[in-house]
Amino acid sequence: MLSLIAYNLGNLWRRLGLPKKIENWSLTSLQQRLVKTGGRLVKHARYYWLMLAESHLTRRLFGSMVRRIEALPAPTG
């Protein structure tokens, strides 16, 4: 039952939150590019830098996804 809910949430997210350029990607591709991306956190002076592997989404695509999610109407009540 839990996997069914996760699959449905993934499809909903794919339909509502993804830019046109990558909306045809499979859920497996999205999972590998977003969740399973290798990287490391580097502290330099007062700043933290997240160094991602080459397989991650570009900053522009990730920013586009965040803007689309922020534009979704919030539920009332």
pLDDT digit string, tens, across residues 6-30: 888 777 877 787 888 887 888 787 7
pLDDT digit string, tens, across residues 59-73: 788 788 888 888 888
Query: Rounded distance, CA 24 to CA 57, Å?
Result: 15
pLDDT digit string, tens, across residues 28-53: 877 777 666 677 889 988 999 877 76
Query: Rounded distance, CA 38 to CA 36, Å?
Result: 6
Residue 56 pLDDT > 70: no
First-residue to last-residue Cα distance in the chain: 27
